[in-house]
Structure 1
Amino acid sequence: MAAPASELATWEWLKSQSALGELLDVDFTGLSHNRLYRASDALMQHRDTIEAHVFGAAISLFAVQETVTLYDLTNTYFEGQAELNDKAQHGHSKEKRTDCPIVTLGLVLDGSGFVRRSKTFEGNVTEGPTLQVMLDGLKAPIGALVIMDAGIATEANIDFAVKNKYRYLVVRRGGVREFDATQAEPTQTAGGETLQLQKKLSADGQEIELYCYSKGRATKETAMVERFCKVFEAGLQKMADGLKKPRGEKNMKKLLVRIGRLNQTSRGNSQHYTVTLTPDESGETAMALTWEKTFVDGTMATHPGVYCLRTNVLDWSADKLWQTYSTLTDIESVFRSLKGELGLRPVFHQKENRADGHLFITVLAYQCVQVIRKTLKEVGIKDCWETLRKTLLIQQRVTTSMNRPDGRTIHIRKSTRAEPALARIYQALGIHSAPGGTRKLIV
């Protein structure tokens, strides 16, 4: 929390820079860094018990009702190859570190932002199958609402939620985009943008489909379609021009392979094109390449800015459904806090249990930070943890030494005076503005 880093860097910080030992009355100067590693091992042995206790304490402290469960995954990369860690695998790195093996962290959170459960997965794990592993045995209350994004919202996971009597609110995977502005109602995002929501009952009457239209998203998606269509057409034109050159590529099989590769990089926009490759009488040599573009209805090209949520909660308004789903964006801020403010990345450990311990310690640090930030928000202090930490760093423990007439020296050790911003934080948390008190020593 105070100095996010590796366990080794934390050990050095405790010994040479921090007054934490003095505040806790613990002598860190003789601490071996191996003790920190053994502490990590001990925490991992009781991971489930610790998580259950910390979550229960947080829920009790803030009187939060357990009604919403958020789930998502993130990953972090290793420094080194981590050959002793079977979970360290190459996969889709969210930090674009394709050169490093990664490990995946799954989090189940309550709507209040507290972590109910965490688990470490292989770096190349696919999102869908992980939900059942995480929720199995969690004993969430019957009727709890599970919110997840499209990557996790597979039909198998939705069937699992229904079987275990969970409600669900997810982004629909695939399907045709629809939107009727005459049937829509407006809602406001936290950023002040107006969204249009169209609520529709599914054909079987078991789900609500909520079509959401964002003008800002529409502008972005329109530009994306134009860009990828332009690149796709440029690729086709290059092949067509090659057919007119004496040494240009004319082999039918090779050109079909090139067209296939072009389709793969088009982000689905090749569906709007009918491409015709005309062969000669032998069928082996291409004579001409032509194409026609007709936008397929119900796609990003014809309905930019539209996405669909699906849920088995039938009695909520469109606005309540969308506002509840928007809490999933809180997970993104959680992951940013874990990675940027709390030292989740990178992982320096090469052994699996130590790497898992590093991630778990980071999750525990987040829980503590969440308690502090939630308490501060109640009095209007909404700063991120990094900003709060900078404010807290201003105060220090100092020693003043003075010579006495009898030849002895008096040493007075106390905290510096808290600046106004820091004093306000202390007041909100019920902490004395001069932590550690005053100590006198005459020698």
Structure 2
Amino acid sequence: MFIRQTRTGNKATGESYVTYRLVRTERIGGKVRQITLLNLGRHFPIKQEDWPILCSRIEQLLNHTQALIMPLECSESIERAAQRYHGQRVARAPVIASATEGAAGSTSEPRPPADFQEVDVDSLQMTQPRSVGVEHVGLHAASELGLIETLNELGVSGVVQASILGNLIGRMGQPGSELATWNWLQQHSALGELMDVDFLSMSHMSLYRASDVLMKHREVIETRLFSTARTLFDLQETVTLYDLSNTYFEGEAELNRKAKRGRSKEKRSDCPRVTLGLVLDGSGFVRRSQTFAGNVSEPGTLASMLAGLGTPAGALVVMDAGIATDANVAWLVEHGYRYLVVRRGGMRQFDATRSVSIETAGEEWRHLQKELSLDGQELCLYCHSPTRQLKEEAMLAQSCGRFEAGLQQMRDGLQKPKSEKGHDKLLERLGRLKQKSRGASQHYQVNLVTENSGQTVTAITWQKVPVPGTMATHPGVYCLRTNELAWDEEKLWRTYTMLTDLESVFRSLKSELGLRPIYHHKEVRSDGHLFITVLAYQCVQFLRVKLKAAGITDSWASLRDILSVQRRVTATFNQRDGRSLHVRKATVAEPDLLAIYRALGISATPGGIRKLIS
């Protein structure tokens, strides 16, 4: 075994370059032939003086008996390279049919004939364990959604396609930055084997460049994937969900014009942010995504996101109160949309005698009352939730308790000789207390009793008088508004609850698919990071919809735990004739994993079985 240099050229460009190959000599038909074992590429990193020891170490790994008889010491870099090329040699050995394929229910091919080998059991070595479960279902989802076909039609090269899929499936399997994904692909994942791609030969910059290509074709890819999902699952485009979420940057991101500071629910107001808007179908698949500045006004994003989507006339748009301004509702009506939104402000009301009751999936009750507007153009649906009532009553009681405690503290201070008793000063103090009461103060009438001059306060009194139409008088009540007048109370309410599914989408993006944080400083790279996460979500949603039809309703985090157990491993034995037997295959799928594979209709032995005798 030795390394050969070959000068070759690119016929298209006329470029001439040297490529390296790992070869061995064999006598065939009375002549000595050189057989190529591995193509090492043009950027072979090992110095020429180290080639003999590298080849010797690869031969030892391929024939374990040699290593036992005469161990070879080499540098760490040579050992890493030898392990890598040994792994590629085994991984690219001929594929043999699996004897367990029939049990997986994925193929009806006959089992192969038995292959008996006489080996030394004590010589068994298990090497190169790599995860394969998430990679297997991720590639299946990307293929079924038409992503791979779309990339081919767009003329994306094989190397860039591999990097795109590496980014995408890495986000599904090990959420993190592109650099973390690169490390995962090189050291922990068998994705390269399934795709016949050597991720070890790629630099981390290839993943960044793949992100740039995705952004170049963003609109086409997004449209094609949703269209395919709509065809696969026969989706009816009757409901459109819209919402926003944000993520923060690690660093100042000075090169990104969208990186702006704003209020952060994650208590990361110290970091600049960027906002992600999603338009989803009622089935949960993303129709469109767009990134906005971190300090964007939520209501101002609706028109730019919905315009040009080609949504059928009369489609229903569902969104929360943060976006449902009067101006946005008017825009929806003007452009032929129906709407179902939470009403912003207004008085609460509820008449139990005119309501209907329905049971939720969580075995809780909701009480619903419809009211038609005076002009007959809009319907208000007042919804009462006993669970929400208990929560709001507790919140109001806590807020009122703090307000009354503050009033009592002011009253007690009047008894101290050196305390402040001036009317104007205590009025300022009362104003600050009301500001911190979060709405509780509106339910109190407070009186500062003064002496005859009116300058010194002698007593403080208060009385609780709940304001009609608020949380104090109607706890647990909220109002939906819509111009869909034909639907009944239950259909309206159940349609609006789809928005909670959108909120679960954002939770999945942020906690399960690595949306947060962003480490990029350039705008196109941060946008690419978000778009990769959206594509990963599309694949996850495809898998979950398919699995739900088979009765598997786990979250992606739970599914990923089940999938992560399966590994591809190389088993090496010494044979009686002095040669070594290498068998690389996936571990047997456990019952939960096997159920997933059967529901998706894919093989339970990803990568097949490869056998090499050396």
Check whether the contact 1:239–1:249 (CA below 8 A) recurs between aligned residues. no
Aligned to 1:81: 252
Aligned to 1:393: 564
Check whether the contact 1:400–1:411 (CA below 8 A) recurs between aligned residues. yes
Aligned to 2:538: 367
Once the two structures are superposed, residues 342-389 of structure 1 have per-residue CA deviations (whole angstroms, 9 ceiling, x without a partner) of 111122222222221111111110000000110011110111111111
Query: Please, which of 591, 594, 597 is the counterpart of residue 426 of structure 1?
Result: 597
Aligned to 1:328: 499
Of 384-393 and 155-164, the range deviating more from structure 2 = 384-393
SS at match of 1:275: strand
Query: Please, which of 51, 60, 71 is the counterpart of residue 222 of structure 2?
Result: 51
Aligned to 2:446: 275
CA RMSD of aligned residues (A): 1.7
Deviation of 1:98 (Å): 3.1
Aligned to 1:64: 235
After superposition, where does 1:14-413 map in structure 2 within 5 Å?
Answer: 14-278=185-449, 286-413=457-584
SS at match of 1:29: helix
For residues 125 and 293 of structure 1, what CA distance do their matches in structure 2 show? 39
Of 360-369 and 215-224, the range deviating more from structure 2 = 215-224
For residues 141 and 280 of structure 1, what CA distance do their matches in structure 2 show? 71
For residues 339 and 329 of structure 1, what CA distance do their matches in structure 2 show? 15
For residues 432 and 418 of structure 2, what CA distance do their matches in structure 1 show? 22
SS at match of 1:129: helix
Deviation of 1:244 (Å): 3.5
Deviation of 1:281 (Å): 6.7
For residues 405 and 384 of structure 1, what CA distance do their matches in structure 2 show? 49
Aligned to 1:7: 178
Once the two structures are superposed, residues 32-76 of structure 1 have per-residue CA deviations (whole angstroms, 9 ceiling, x without a partner) of 101111111111122222111111111111000111011111122
Shift of the 207–343 alpha-carbon distance from structure 1 to 2, 3 Å rule, reads: same
For residues 235 and 536 of structure 2, what CA distance do their matches in structure 1 show? 20
Shift of the 158–244 alpha-carbon distance from structure 1 to 2, 3 Å rule, reads: same
SS at match of 2:243: strand
Check whether the contact 1:76–1:95 (CA below 8 A) recurs between aligned residues. no
Check whether the contact 1:344–1:359 (CA below 8 A) recurs between aligned residues. yes
For residues 90 and 231 of structure 1, what CA distance do their matches in structure 2 show? 32
Once the two structures are superposed, residues 88-128 of structure 1 have per-residue CA deviations (whole angstroms, 9 ceiling, x without a partner) of 23322232323333222111111000011111122222322
Deviation of 1:200 (Å): 1.2
Deviation of 1:211 (Å): 0.7
SS at match of 1:198: strand
Shift of the 206–343 alpha-carbon distance from structure 1 to 2, 3 Å rule, reads: same
Structure 2 stretches lacking a partner, 5+ long? 1-171
For residues 379 and 455 of structure 2, what CA distance do their matches in structure 1 show? 52
Once the two structures are superposed, residues 242-270 of structure 1 have per-residue CA deviations (whole angstroms, 9 ceiling, x without a partner) of 33333323344443333222222222221
Deviation of 1:283 (Å): 6.1
Shift of the 170–352 alpha-carbon distance from structure 1 to 2, 3 Å rule, reads: same
Structure with max Cα Rg: 2
Deviation of 1:288 (Å): 4.1
Once the two structures are superposed, residues 160-213 of structure 1 have per-residue CA deviations (whole angstroms, 9 ceiling, x without a partner) of 110111000011111111111110111111111011111111111111111111
For residues 55 and 286 of structure 1, what CA distance do their matches in structure 2 show? 69
Of 132-141 and 200-209, the range deviating more from structure 2 = 132-141
Once the two structures are superposed, residues 316-344 of structure 1 have per-residue CA deviations (whole angstroms, 9 ceiling, x without a partner) of 00011001111111012111111111111
Shift of the 41–283 alpha-carbon distance from structure 1 to 2, 3 Å rule, reads: farther
Once the two structures are superposed, residues 111-157 of structure 1 have per-residue CA deviations (whole angstroms, 9 ceiling, x without a partner) of 00001111112222232212122112222111110001111111011
Deviation of 1:285 (Å): 5.0
Deviation of 1:240 (Å): 2.8
Aligned to 1:439: 610
For residues 363 and 289 of structure 2, what CA distance do their matches in structure 1 show? 33
Query: Please, which of 578, 588, 591 is the counterpart of residue 417 of structure 1?
Result: 588
Shift of the 282–350 alpha-carbon distance from structure 1 to 2, 3 Å rule, reads: farther
Letter in 1 for 2:211: S
Shift of the 143–397 alpha-carbon distance from structure 1 to 2, 3 Å rule, reads: same
Once the two structures are superposed, residues 259-306 of structure 1 have per-residue CA deviations (whole angstroms, 9 ceiling, x without a partner) of 222222222221112223356677665454333221111110011111
For residues 230 and 389 of structure 2, what CA distance do their matches in structure 1 show? 39
Letter in 2 for 1:209: C
Structure 1 stretches lacking a partner, 5+ long? none
Check whether the contact 1:75–1:94 (CA below 8 A) recurs between aligned residues. no
Deviation of 1:433 (Å): 1.0
Of 237-246 and 204-213, the range deviating more from structure 2 = 237-246
For residues 283 and 121 of structure 1, what CA distance do their matches in structure 2 show? 55
Whose relative contact order is higher, 1 or 2, with alpha carbons under 8 Å and at least 6 apart? 2
For residues 47 and 280 of structure 1, what CA distance do their matches in structure 2 show? 73
For residues 527 and 430 of structure 2, what CA distance do their matches in structure 1 show? 44
Check whether the contact 1:171–1:308 (CA below 8 A) recurs between aligned residues. yes
Once the two structures are superposed, residues 374-409 of structure 1 have per-residue CA deviations (whole angstroms, 9 ceiling, x without a partner) of 001111011111111111112111112233444332
Shift of the 227–140 alpha-carbon distance from structure 1 to 2, 3 Å rule, reads: same
For residues 469 and 200 of structure 2, what CA distance do their matches in structure 1 show? 66
For residues 437 and 459 of structure 2, what CA distance do their matches in structure 1 show? 22
SS at match of 1:426: helix
SS at match of 2:269: coil
For residues 365 and 94 of structure 1, what CA distance do their matches in structure 2 show? 24
TM-score under structure 2 length normalisation: 0.70
For residues 532 and 272 of structure 2, what CA distance do their matches in structure 1 show? 20
